[in-house]
Structure formats: C-alpha cells, structure tokens
Amino acid sequence: MKKQLFSILVLILIANFTNAQGGDPADGDAILPVVWKSFTGKARQRSIVLNWETATERNAKEFAVQHSTNGTKWDSIGVVTASGNTSTARAYNFTHSTAPGGTNHYRLLQRDLDGKSAFSKTISVKLNNTAGLTILGNPVEQWVLRIRLEQPALVTLQDPSGRRVYSVRQTAGLQTIDVSRLSKGYYLLEVAGTVERVWIR
C-alpha cells in the first residue's frame, strides 16, 4: 500500500514539474509564423487590387492568393514571396486583372518554409459589370433574346438544372440570340461574371 502511495506521489511531482517547464506548446505560447495587420481589396477600373500587411514573420515562405465567386470553390490565381523572417511590418499587393463582374471573394494561403500553412481571413470585393450588359426585353418574346454589350464578352445561358444551353463569345454592341430551340421558362444569362434571370414565354 505504501509503495502504491509513493508511486502516485512521484507521478504527481513529475507532472507538476513538466507543467512548470512550459507544458504543451499548444497552450498558446507558440510563436505564430505570421502576425497579420490588415488584408483589404479595392476595385480599380476593370481589376481588383489586393493589399495586405504583416506585423511580424517567422520562417514565412510565400502567400498563395486564392479567388472564388461563390465562397465555396477556390482557385489559386498567383503567388507572392514572403519576407521570411522580420520583426517589422511588411506590405504586399496583388492585382487580379481578370476578375469577373459581380462579387469576388479572396483569401491568402500563407505557407512556411517547414511546409506548414494557414489561411488569412476572407474578404469580398464587388466589381461592376465590366461588359456593360443591358437586356432589351425581359420576358423574351418571339423567341429572340436581345442584349447590348459595351465590351466583347462570353455570353452563356443555363437552364434551371445548371446545364449550359448556349455559349458564344459576342462582340460589343446590339446582339440577338435565337432561343427558339429552348423550352419556355426561366434561364440564367451570364456575361463577364454578371448573372441575370431571363424568361422565355
């Protein structure tokens, strides 16, 4: 019985000594590889400019810029090299010159030299309709969809199930689209990232 009590006391002393030496590194005392100061985005003409700033960096390798139009599916659109190790603020920027019209979501995947990674916060930036889409007549009658574009753009139509039923790159100006082979109902018209609902009756 005395041996058992002695063993328990020894284990307690060892545990207390371990905690006094620092304990589990996951308790929040670990040094963060990057301390963020800011991450912003702004529409500029037909592009979106991203700016971010770090307060400190430790073994930072790079920032992968990721983009999404729905906040769910993400694509990497560029990489910016990090400063590596610094205790002073560092500023970075990236221009998304092919951003579609509408709401664009961005986040940064910060990678370390040791292979670890972490995401920044997500920001959203709205870019006005770059193609200058105007629908002339909605609902569509007599099976002809008329639109006007200020810039050349890819024009697509999707049925309610998401199936693409029309996809043609159109030039700027007045365009007429024959929809006589389509069934009556509503369709999603997409031009340069801008989506509008049109009715065929």
How high is the pLDDT of residue 98?
A: 79
Residue 19 above 60 pLDDT?
Answer: no
The residue type found at 58 is R
How high is the pLDDT of residue 4?
A: 54
Residue 27 above 60 pLDDT?
Answer: no
- Asked whether the domain spanning 134-200 has the same topology as the one spanning 30-127, the reply is yes
How high is the pLDDT of residue 1?
A: 53
User: What whole-number distance in Å separates Cα of residue 106 and Cα of residue 104?
Assistant: 7
How high is the pLDDT of residue 128?
A: 76
How high is the pLDDT of residue 44?
A: 86
Residue 167 above 90 pLDDT?
Answer: yes
User: What whole-number distance in Å separates Cα of residue 148 and Cα of residue 49?
Assistant: 28
How high is the pLDDT of residue 49?
A: 96
User: What whole-number distance in Å separates Cα of residue 167 and Cα of residue 101?
Assistant: 17
* Cα 26 to chain centroid, rounded: 29
The overall pTM is greater than 0.75? no
Higher-pLDDT residue of 132 and 65 is: 65
Residues 37-50: what's their mean pLDDT?
A: 91
Q: 134-200 in CATH: which number?
A: 2.60.40.3080
What superfamily would CATH give domain 30-127? Immunoglobulins (2.60.40.10)
How high is the pLDDT of residue 127?
A: 84
The residue type found at 16 is N
Question: Hey, how many other C-beta atoms are within 10 angstroms of the C-beta on 110?
Answer: 21
CB 102 within 8 A of CB 124: no
- Own/partner pairs, 41-47, CB within 8 angstroms, 24+ separation: 41/104, 41/106, 41/123, 41/124, 41/125, 42/125, 43/125, 43/126, 43/127, 43/128, 46/97, 46/99, 46/127, 46/130, 47/95, 47/96, 47/97, 47/99
Residues 86-105: what's their mean pLDDT?
A: 90
User: What whole-number distance in Å separates Cα of residue 130 and Cα of residue 192?
Assistant: 7
Residues 88-106: what's their mean pLDDT?
A: 90
In this structure, of 47-51, 69-73, 144-148, 166-170, the range with the lowest mean pLDDT score is 69-73
Residues 75-97: what's their mean pLDDT?
A: 95
**Residues listed for the chain:** 201
- Find, among 118, 126, 122, 135, the residue nearest to 174 by Cα: 135
Higher-pLDDT residue of 26 and 45 is: 45
In this structure, of 63-72, 88-97, 99-108, 167-176, the range with the lowest mean pLDDT score is 99-108
CB 96 within 8 A of CB 67: yes
How high is the pLDDT of residue 46?
A: 72
How high is the pLDDT of residue 38?
A: 97
Q: Where are the domains of the chain?
A: 30-127, 134-200
